[in-house]
Structures are given as structure tokens and as C-alpha cells.
Structure 1
């Protein structure tokens, strides 16, 4: 027996990826609904060998449905997630709306799978920010071994993290640079993104950090350990898909780079590609379409006691969004709903 499952925001980048991953992982579905706004009503989306026509989210009745994967913005989620939850459908939300609510579990299944059991307080589970999701998968096994005291992370985030408009802007600006008669004025991003990097994702806060940087701090503490100190610099780069992170770790105990490499190789959701030779590491282009989070460039940091550096790369539309949401649904089914 399978689940009645709805994908909300099925025509967007993440919604389409959710449908792809549900089919790839053979999630036990008896009935599936692709939901979108009225302007996308009737748009066709793929689910494995099936073609689904989108239904109107505003008119949809969630009564009798088991799980809804939400891939719409916080404003729309604020309207529709409570309706779905009240109807008895468990919402797995990809927006930032519920991530910091103490009554809503924030889950990365490789890290804190047991947290899904708290879903019943509001019938909602939150999916973390894309940059946080891949990082904490790498942090957790190392933290279990040597206790992480401090994290310094710089991210290199692809334009797909800003949705279709971000991808279109990079494409259009790149073409325009080779055709000077075309306009390259930025619209989605604050400055030109083609052949450039922008140290600004989301809005600025009073302390000078951006909301994206704050998210990495708050979410890492909620998912892994509130005692970990985190500082982040988040940068948008001219890459279509795939986020990369340079992570510096300071531990309570000494952790040798060779042992760290072995720990990461054995950890769920991770793949270590770490050869000290030309090309012996993974870049964003190479991770696209893969389920794994890749770790490379593992090495001791001799400037501090108990320091380690590593390079972390993942497909942000997958582990950073759609894959993690599907994994949460799988974990929910195994631990709580137990149908499939």
C-alpha cells in the first residue's frame, strides 16, 4: 500500500526535480497530484513514465492525502501549508517559513532522522536551506568523533538557487556579452552575474551579514548542535547548478586528516573523491544529477589546534532541496506513517 502524495509548485525547478526523484527512488505512491498556481493550470509535468497535468492549488482539497511536498515561496506557503496540515496531510516544506519554529522539526535524514517524529505538533516538517543541507551531512560524522567547536565556511552558490529567473539571467547576460547590442542590465541579481561573483545572497541584516549567512548559522545549530559556532560568507557564482563550499573546522579533539577521510567515506550520503593530483577533486559541473554530496581537498589546518579543511560540492536542486524533501518523506514513512 502506497501514499497519496501531492507536489506543490510542480512546474518550478525544485518541484519538477521532486517528481523526478520520487520516480527514480520508486517512492510508494498510490496517487499523485501535481499542484501549481492558476496561471500554470494544465501545464504538463513528468513523473517517471507518466505525464501529469497540474491542478489548481487554490481549489485543491488536501483531505485524505498523506504527504505534500511544498516547493513554493514563503508567502504562498503561509496560506496553503496550514490548510493542508489542518486537513491531515503532512507538509514537507522547502521554504524558510517554518525552519526556525521550535514546534517544527528541521530535518536532514543523514543527520537527525529521529527529529521527524516531532512532525505531529503542527503536521509540518521543514527542509533546510540548500547550502546548509550539504554542509551538515559532512559535519555530523566528524562532530560525532571529535566535537566541532567552530565552522568557518565560504560558499560558491549557483544561480539555480535563485530559481528559473536566476538561470535565465546568467544565460541572457552571457549571450549579451558576446553580442554588445543586447542589454545586460541585472534584474534578478544585484550586479552582473555573468563572468562575475557576487558576495550577496538574500537581504542584509543589521550586523552586516546577509540572511543567507544567518540561515547557515541558525540551521546548523538546530540540526547538529546548538553549541557549534558558525560564521559564513555566501557568494553567488556564474554556475548554473551545483553549490560548492570551502569549510574550515576547529575541533575539541585532534582529528587526523586520514581518519577524517575514512569517517567521511563511511558516512551516509557522502562520497569522497580526494586525490592530491590534477583533477583529483569534484567540481559543481560533475555533481549535477547525483544524489551524493562530494567531499574533496581534506587536509590539516596547521594554523590552529585541531583544525581541518575540506571542499564540499552538491547538486543544490537535489540534496539542497528536492532530494532532501523526498528523503524526509521516506523517513516519515518508515518511522511514523508506515504505509509503503
Structure 2
């Protein structure tokens, strides 16, 4: 189906995800008639390159979504909630990349390779939610196993890059590394609870009364919503001193026997997944291989001798693309083809 050129907006265009969105749009075949970069008053005026042009970010305000077909929201949950009604009033569809609506039963949570049909519920609120990067990566890897042998339980240790905390997290790690490599005291952290440089922080988001962090609860909830509410999912989220690329160490208990060799064959054929599994040759998922790749890299696939029908594996994905910019653009294409009224 041919899509007419779209009038688009990116809310949060100067942040880490927003910049990745603009870059991914430039690389994509999505036809763009116009692109408005929207930001806070503090970031207004920043310039980004886009398809042989230089675009300047404007402060979001009244009329920002007028004449727009679709807006990508990437400026944080509170900002998404604050501007959704303005977008709806302007007839502008919203693809939201923040946690704002992921748990809302009236808003479809969609990962195109898994549940594109859920977009049928988009019209109810005029918004579709993109699963978080760790959720998307884990769901894509578990999906072929779940179809073939039924996943009874999955446990993941998610090693999250600092870009998961936005551009502030990236800038904070840069400043810390620069200071410490010059034998100086690093500036106190503001985006993260503790210094990231030369450190590992077992906290991503605030803790609840049950001891689980906000990110841990969110990843488990998203995966269950994508793959089935009966799936038991345990998550431990850890911030590591890497700029881009989340890594996950995953243990899976299947309902039926499968085995590592059969699992590898499933991963070779699974959409959104790339098997990177030759450990004897030093080939396995790593952030340096995953950055700027839309696929989830899966490797170190092996049988788990501690449990019946158990598998262990390692995942890695670019957190700004899968469950981020690339997923959002894929959703925009599907909306334009089937769900938007384009005059």
C-alpha cells in the first residue's frame, strides 16, 4: 500500500530517544511531508540534521499538533500525559515511547512482530504505546520459545546502559569518565542514584514496598501483556557503565522439552531476532555489535542442567532502536496503512 507523505512531529526531539527517532526517520522509507521538532523551553533552538535540511526545535505550546498526522512522544511520561489531549483535539495520532500508557488497558501495547493486530484498539484513545526496550528485547526472544514449547517461567538480569536514563544519563557518564581519568573528583550524580563510571548500580527506577524497582515491575508486566498473562516473569535491573545497548542474562523454564540446538534453529528464523552464537570463536551478543542494529542479538544458548526443560541465553539490543525509535516508526507505518484517515 502506498502511503502519502506524512506531517509528523517529535515531542522530546533533543533527548536521546528523540535524536534516535530523527536519525531512524532519516534512514527509513517512511514518506515525510514535514517534520516538526518539539522540545522544552530549555532545549528550544537546538538544531538537528534531517534529509539534507537543518531543523530547529521549537518549544511545545498551543497549536503544536495542528495539521500533523502523527506525533512521536519521547519526552517522558509526565509530558506525554500533559499533551495527549491537545494532540487528540488536533486530530493527531500519537505513538508514545514513554511509560505513560503502557499499563493502560485502553491503550494498545504493540510490538509489530508479535501483536500488530492489537493496533485495532488504537482508535479508542488515539494513542499506541511502544514497549520499553528491555521488555521488547525479552519478549522477542521468548516468543519463538513460547510458541514451540511454552514458557512456564523466565528470569532476566537486565544490564541497562545509561542512555536508558536519557541524554542526561549519557552526559553524566561522560563527565564522570572524563574527570576520573584525569584523576579528579567526578561531579555528583543527578540523573542516576549513584556514580555510573567504574561502577554497577543495582537500581533502575524507584523501589516499591516489595523491594522490586519500577523498571523491574514494568518489564515483567509488559512481557506478560505481550505474550500472555499466565507467564511468570522475574526481572532484576542493573545500571552499568555502558552508553548504549542493554544486555540480558536470561534463564527460561519451558513446559515441554526443546533443547539448545532446537532453540537456536528457532532463533535463526524468528522475526526481530538475530542469532549470534559461536562462543568458541568469541562471537556472542555485546553492545558493540548491537548498536544501530534493529534486531535483538541472541547467543550463549545452552541447556540449563539445574532444571527440567531449562535454557540459558544472553540477549543484547540497541535500547534506542528496538523498543525505541525503530519500533515507533514501524508502528507509524502500520497506522498510516490501516488506521489513520489521511486526506
Q: Determine which of 22, 27, 31 is the counterpart of 1:28.
A: 31
Greater CA drift, 223-232 or 20-29:
20-29
Given the alignment of the two structures, is residue 216 of structure 1 paired with residue 219 of structure 2, yes or no?
yes
Q: How does 1:106-125 map to 2 (within 5 A)?
A: 106-125=109-128
Residue 125 to residue 149, structure 1, CA distance change in 2 (3 Å): same
Given the alignment of the two structures, is residue 266 of structure 1 paired with residue 269 of structure 2, yes or no?
yes
Q: Determine which of 177, 180, 189 is the counterpart of 2:180.
A: 177
| Mapped contact 1:117–1:332 kept (Cα < 8 A) | no
Shift of 1:339: 5.9
| Mapped contact 2:69–2:342 kept (Cα < 8 A) | no
With structure 1 as the length reference, what TM-score do the two structures score? 0.96
Residues in 2 aligned to 1:43 and 1:274: alpha-carbon distance in whole angstroms:
42
Residues in 2 aligned to 1:86 and 1:255: alpha-carbon distance in whole angstroms:
51
Shift of 1:40: 2.5
Q: SS at the partner of 1:59?
A: coil
Q: Determine which of 138, 156, 160 is the counterpart of 2:141.
A: 138
Provide the residue aligned with 1:188 in structure 2. Answer: 191
| Mapped contact 1:37–1:58 kept (Cα < 8 A) | no
Provide the residue aligned with 2:55 in structure 1. Answer: 52
Residues in 2 aligned to 1:338 and 1:259: alpha-carbon distance in whole angstroms:
44
> Which ranges of structure 2 fall in alignment gaps of 5 or more residues?
none
With structure 2 as the length reference, what TM-score do the two structures score? 0.95
Given the alignment of the two structures, is residue 206 of structure 1 paired with residue 209 of structure 2, yes or no?
yes
Provide the residue aligned with 2:83 in structure 1. Answer: 80
Q: Determine which of 322, 327, 341 is the counterpart of 1:319.
A: 322
Provide the residue aligned with 1:168 in structure 2. Answer: 171
User: CA RMSD for the aligned pairs?
Assistant: 1.6
Residues in 1 aligned to 2:184 and 2:135: alpha-carbon distance in whole angstroms:
40
| Mapped contact 1:199–1:234 kept (Cα < 8 A) | yes
Provide the residue aligned with 1:100 in structure 2. Answer: 103
Shift of 1:253: 1.0
Given the alignment of the two structures, is residue 302 of structure 1 paired with residue 285 of structure 2, yes or no?
no
Provide the residue aligned with 1:65 in structure 2. Answer: 68
> Which ranges of structure 1 fall in alignment gaps of 5 or more residues?
none
| Mapped contact 2:12–2:38 kept (Cα < 8 A) | yes
Shift of 1:303: 1.2
Residue 249 to residue 37, structure 1, CA distance change in 2 (3 Å): same
